[in-house]
Amino acid sequence: MGLPGWLPILTQLVVLRFLVAQPMEPIRVFMVPHSHMDVGWIHTVQESLQAYASNVYTSVVQELMLQEHRCFIAVEQEYFRLWWDGIASDRQKRQVRHLLATRRLEFVIGGQVMHDEAVTHFDDQILQLTEGHGFLYETFGIRPRFSWQVDPFGASATTPTLFALAGFHAHIISRIDYDLKGAMQKNQGLQFVWRGSPSLAANQEIFTHVLDQYSYCS
């Protein structure tokens, strides 16, 4: 094959090389490990605590102390409270206070559980949030800044109102209708200000982010 025959192939290779050689914008990846342990599911609370939940907090505190750049967010207070009151050593408690002070450990939502907002009555939602927040404030003098509902199925109009009035700065959710999430992905609408009803005031709305995947990650 002479040069004329190779010319189309050479042209394609040159173009391909030019395209591949173009520098790409760096992609910033944020990885924030978080706890997700259902307080009520297959086993009792005590069975789950002994099987895996207590070891989560023991190992997390240990690993966070090894590297200063590591961070973790804890969600359900029922397991953490039981670990704190009955399992954690004095040394581990000092480490937890240090991690909270350096903002490498953070509590989100802060309720006793991550309640299923679509079926739970709002009185129960308020009660479990009050108990969890009370424990955190009495023990550490802190209040959670973000609400975190990555596993509950469905979202009620009560949610933005309740969480806004609870003082949360922003809200994270995941499980919504698949077609709706697909449309939001296409239209870049995964972040929005959520107001449960047009009749409500601005202090009853909350900035909301929907995780773009169908699991607990984004």
Active site residues: 151
Strands (E), the chain: 72-74, 105-107, 146-149, 170-173, 191-195, 205-210
The b/e string for 136-154 (b: 16+ C-beta within 10 A; e otherwise) is beebeeeebebbbbbebee
Q: Report the sign of the C-alpha dihedral through residues 131, 137, 140, 144, in that order.
A: positive
DSSP 11-56: HHHHHHHHHHHSPPPPPP-----B----SSSSS-HHHHIIIIIHHH
Cα 134 to the chain's mean position, in Å? 21
82 vs 37: CA distance, rounded Å: 13
